[in-house]
Amino acid sequence: MRARTLKDSKVVILGLGLIGGSIARGLSREKLCAGVWAVGRNETVLGEARNLGVLDGYSLDLRTVCSDADLIVLAVPGLSIAPLLLELAAFIGSRTIMTDVASVKSSTVDAARMAFGEVPANLVPGHPIAGSEKSGFAAANADLFRNKRVILTPLEQTAPEAVNLVTELWQSLGAEVLSMSVPHHDEVLAATSHLPHLLAYVLVDTLSRQGESEEIFRYAAGGFRDFTRIASSDPVMWRDIFLTNADATLSILDTFTEGLERMRQALVQGDGDYFLKTFTRAKSSRDKFMSLSASHVPTAPRTPGLEFLAEPGGRLSGAFRVPGDKSISHRAIMLGSIADGTTTVNGFLEGEDSLATLAAFRSMGVAIDGPEQGRVVIRGVGLRGLKAAAGPLYLGNSGTSMRLLCGLLAAQHFASTLTGDESLSRRPMQRVARPLADMGARIHLQEGGLAPVVIEPATLRPIHYAMPVASAQVKSCLLLASLYTEGRSVITEPAPCRDHTERMLEAFSYPISRHENRIEIEGGGILKAVPIDVPADISSAAFFMVGASISPDSDILLRHVGINPTRIGVINILNLMGADISYERESVAGAEPVADIRVRYAPLHGIDIPLDQVALAIDEFPAIFIAAACASGTTVLRGAEELRVKESDRIQAMADGLMALGIQVQVHADGLSVEGGQLRGGTIDSKGDHRIAMAFVMAALRASAPIRILDCHNVATSFPGFVELAAAAGVRLGQHEH
Ligand code: S3P
């Protein structure tokens, strides 16, 4: 057999349905081969495909077009493969390579043996995992296989040249090609595809035969749709799949039936514990599966996705509560999970970042109910009760999840791998890995000190550590690791930074001593579950503080905002600039002080931002720079090099955005000088950074023309419902996906 490439191959597709038609469309659109021909039964479809330019030619007769084919793709239902192979065996020589797309590979191999006497070396059994409940050429789509998987099941005798050409075919259509043995393929598919289809068909059929079936379907909502989508698949194809893969399907069906029977008993006995355990396990497995598939995303090119369009002008008014504090939400899940007893959290932030932490702990065996309207119930497993997750923990965009988990997981008796999205995979992890290594941790980073982070089990010793940067994430990481040591750790911070971990440890009755910038903690204690009230996030409130301060006639009340002294840098800085911000109804929510914050418009002036406020306002500078652009005179920020390594390089991203809107800035290595002026309209690249996107939304209140903001999907990491809330408060804001 001579080696050949797809480019100079004549490809013949047998069967021009969804799969065959999609291959033909992909090949012809990109001109990937020397010619695309088809054989089918429906001449109207074949003629239409040729008129569309999808085919170079067709025939109703196999021999006419197949005898000089380089590659034949059998894209017919499983049971049609045997008769086709029999026909082909009569005239096909060894130079023609054949492959198929059937969902069951043992039946293709059996059919080939019957037809040819032995499985020929030029046949490569294959299966694209790219079905759809739609069928037929009309549904065919050149991109059907893009980013999908194709499993090839070559046998020992299969010729490498044949495998290469078939691999090239699928790769050129955008698929990832994997290889497996025939029996393994059929077992895996029976469990992951064939059984779910069987269940969906049976459920819909059973319900449709109930007396009031129309009534049932009329009220069937999302759950029914999600569960039964695949019952719309092609019945002939699925009949063939079950006839050809009966053994593997029966085996997994029996196991499933046992599970169903146990569930039935739990229903009879009202065994809520059994439900909760089963559902928690299942949910964690599914979340993990979804995050694993999501973890493919970083390698795919990032699309600008969600766009905001903010019309100029407007003023802010009304009383409202922004979502829960992100930092406190993370810590509530972490400490609640390793506490003894049940922790109920209210006001939890249902944003992607804190949900990533929640999913990670579920994956490590913690039963967590919710979140439901901000309420989460965590059944703590104690300091030593976490279990190894079945795969990597995917933490999305969340730096806090990754850095704090490094400390907690470095001390476990199991290994863990932490991964994140593109932005998180660019952020420095050495700052936690280095001191943890001094404690005896075995942590491996990628080149450049980046994620994925691989953590091996280790026994940690206490640390005395003077932090080189004022980072609450580093401090919290080390505090969590210290819980697992024998002895006393001492951590000192160069400047005060948020102390939610310390406060929450105290709330969980864990002894910790704090004097000025020195924190001491002894390992081996117990955390006692305690209810947590998460205040509204001052970092989210900050956008509205700035919005109200810069738009004349504004007057807003931000309810129940956390005013922890280590977080109020933004209020101090805005007040120094002349803002009118005051507290009402001050109180204490558990371990954290809160207040309603009143903000009224006031003309602002530029200032030199005091160095001691930098760490206390570290997340709020995007918003503060917008205030600076609307102030008279110059505002100067120095000593804030940390901004370069946030979700984006926030110094550069803000400088670029402000300049695009006609504001003069001077970029420093450790900060930015902003000259107040008139904001114009324009287009801003938020660089996928939630806070950059939200800051420029507020800029529109004082801009002379619309501001379009790109790449805004990550606003959901910290502020779900931002667009709706900003619009209700008075920003003329819309969004669209493209
Ligand atoms: C956070 C600490 C800060 C902050 C981040 C949240 C926390 O990061 O910027 O958004 O929850 O501990 P650094 O510790 O890197 O300053």
Minimum-distance ligand 1 atom for the alpha carbon of 497: 16
In percent, the amount of the chain with pLDDT more than 70 equals 96
Summarised one tens digit per residue, pLDDT across range 233-274 is 888 889 989 999 999 999 999 999 999 999 999 999 999 989
Summarised one tens digit per residue, pLDDT across range 416-438 is 999 999 899 999 999 999 999 99
For 328, residues 6+ apart whose C-beta sits below 8 A from its C-beta are 500, 504, 532, 534, 535, 562, 592
What is the rounded average pLDDT of the residues 607-623? Answer: 98
The CA-based dihedral angle spanning residues 346, 349, 350, 355, taken in that order and rounded to the nearest 10 degrees:
-100
CA of 570 to the centre of ligand 1 (A): 15
Q: 471 in ligand 1 pocket by Cβ < 6 Å?
A: yes
Q: What is the pLDDT of residue 320?
A: 97
Could you tell me if 563 and 538 are in contact, meaning their C-beta atoms sit under 8 angstroms apart? yes
What is the rounded average pLDDT of the residues 173-182? Answer: 88
In the numeric block, which tokens belong to residue 133? 């409940």
Summarised one tens digit per residue, pLDDT across range 49-92 is 999 999 999 999 999 999 999 999 999 988 999 999 999 999 99
Q: What is the pLDDT of residue 254?
A: 96
Name the closest-CA residue to atom 13, ligand 1. 471
What is the rounded average pLDDT of the residues 708-717? Answer: 95
Query: What phi and psi, each to the nearest 5 degrees, are found at residue 283?
Result: -60, -45
Q: What is the pLDDT of residue 295?
A: 40
Question: Using CA atoms, how far apart are residues 496 and 477, in angstroms rounded to an integer?
Answer: 16
Specify the DSSP class assigned to residue 463: -
Rg (CA), the chain: 31
Q: 689 in ligand 1 pocket by Cβ < 6 Å?
A: no
Torsion sign over Cα 518, 493, 399, 374: positive
Could you tell me if 507 and 539 are in contact, meaning their C-beta atoms sit under 8 angstroms apart? no
Q: 346 in ligand 1 pocket by Cβ < 6 Å?
A: no
In the numeric block, which tokens belong to residue 513? 């001593």
For 342, residues 6+ apart whose C-beta sits below 8 A from its C-beta are 377, 378, 379, 380, 529
Question: Using CA atoms, how far apart are residues 166 and 89, in angstroms rounded to an integer?
Answer: 20
The least confident of 300-304, 611-615, 679-683 is 300-304
Specify the DSSP class assigned to residue 559: E
Q: Is 579 left (phi over 0), alpha (psi -120 to 50) or beta?
A: beta
Strands 512-515 and 518-522: what pairing?
antiparallel
Question: Using CA atoms, how far apart are residues 539 and 621, in angstroms rounded to an integer?
Answer: 10
For 434, residues 6+ apart whose C-beta sits below 8 A from its C-beta are none
Minimum-distance ligand 1 atom for the alpha carbon of 501: 12
CA of 356 to the centre of ligand 1 (A): 16
- Does the pLDDT at position 135 exceed 60? yes
* Three-state DSSP string of 117-144: CCCCCCEECEEEECCCCCCCHHHCCCCC
DSSP string, 248-294: HHHHHHHHHHHHHHHHHHHHHHT-HHHHHHHHHHHHHHHHHHHHHHH
For 442, residues 6+ apart whose C-beta sits below 8 A from its C-beta are 410, 455, 456, 457, 458
Name the closest-CA residue to atom 4, ligand 1. 619
CA of 498 to the centre of ligand 1 (A): 8
Name the closest-CA residue to atom 11, ligand 1. 327
Place of tokens 């069951």: 104
CA of 89 to the centre of ligand 1 (A): 67
The CA-based dihedral angle spanning residues 328, 331, 335, 337, taken in that order and rounded to the nearest 10 degrees:
110
* Closest by Cα among 389, 395, 452 to 415: 389
Q: 619 in ligand 1 pocket by Cβ < 6 Å?
A: yes
Question: Using CA atoms, how far apart are residues 554 and 543, in angstroms rounded to an integer?
Answer: 13
Minimum-distance ligand 1 atom for the alpha carbon of 615: 16
Summarised one tens digit per residue, pLDDT across range 462-511 is 999 999 999 999 999 999 999 999 999 999 999 999 999 999 999 999 99
CA of 293 to the centre of ligand 1 (A): 27
**Average pLDDT, whole number, for the chain?**
93
- Does the pLDDT at position 290 exceed 70? no
Q: Examine residue 371 and say whether the peptide bond preceding it is cis (omega within 30 degrees of 0).
A: yes
70, 240, 325, 619: the active-site residue = 619
How does residue 282 score in pLDDT terms, banded at 50, 70 and 90?
confident
Q: How many CA atoms lie within 13 A of 520 on its CB side?
A: 5
Q: 618 in ligand 1 pocket by Cβ < 6 Å?
A: yes
Name the closest-CA residue to atom 15, ligand 1. 471
Could you tell me if 295 and 696 are in contact, meaning their C-beta atoms sit under 8 angstroms apart? no
The least confident of 59-73, 188-202, 365-379, 418-432 is 365-379
Minimum-distance ligand 1 atom for the alpha carbon of 474: 14
In the numeric block, which tokens belong to residue 377? 């119930």
In the numeric block, which tokens belong to residue 718? 């910290």
Q: 498 in ligand 1 pocket by Cβ < 6 Å?
A: yes
The CA-based dihedral angle spanning residues 102, 105, 106, 110, taken in that order and rounded to the nearest 10 degrees:
60
Q: 96 in ligand 1 pocket by Cβ < 6 Å?
A: no
Q: 472 in ligand 1 pocket by Cβ < 6 Å?
A: yes
Beta-bridge partner residues of 665:
674
Minimum-distance ligand 1 atom for the alpha carbon of 472: 14
**CA 590 to chain CA mean position, Å:** 32
Could you tell me if 738 and 345 are in contact, meaning their C-beta atoms sit under 8 angstroms apart? no
Question: Using CA atoms, how far apart are residues 244 and 104, in angstroms rounded to an integer?
Answer: 7
How does residue 299 score in pLDDT terms, banded at 50, 70 and 90?
very low
CA of 580 to the centre of ligand 1 (A): 27
Q: 647 in ligand 1 pocket by Cβ < 6 Å?
A: no
Question: Using CA atoms, how far apart are residues 330 and 353, in angstroms rounded to an integer?
Answer: 8
Answer yes or no: 619 catalytic.
Answer: yes
Q: What is the pLDDT of residue 455?
A: 98
Name the closest-CA residue to atom 9, ligand 1. 619
Position 606, amino acid: G
DSSP string, 85-96: HHHHHTT--TTS
Q: At what angle do helices 621-629 and 538-550 cross, to 10 degrees?
A: 0
Q: 331 in ligand 1 pocket by Cβ < 6 Å?
A: no
Could you tell me if 352 and 345 are in contact, meaning their C-beta atoms sit under 8 angstroms apart? no
How does residue 627 score in pLDDT terms, banded at 50, 70 and 90?
very high
Could you tell me if 507 and 527 are in contact, meaning their C-beta atoms sit under 8 angstroms apart? no
CA of 719 to the centre of ligand 1 (A): 16
Question: Using CA atoms, how far apart are residues 401 and 423, in angstroms rounded to an integer?
Answer: 14
Beta strand segments in 603-729, E: 634-637, 665-668, 671-675, 682-685, 707-710
Q: 551 in ligand 1 pocket by Cβ < 6 Å?
A: no
Q: 400 in ligand 1 pocket by Cβ < 6 Å?
A: yes
Q: What is the pLDDT of residue 664?
A: 95
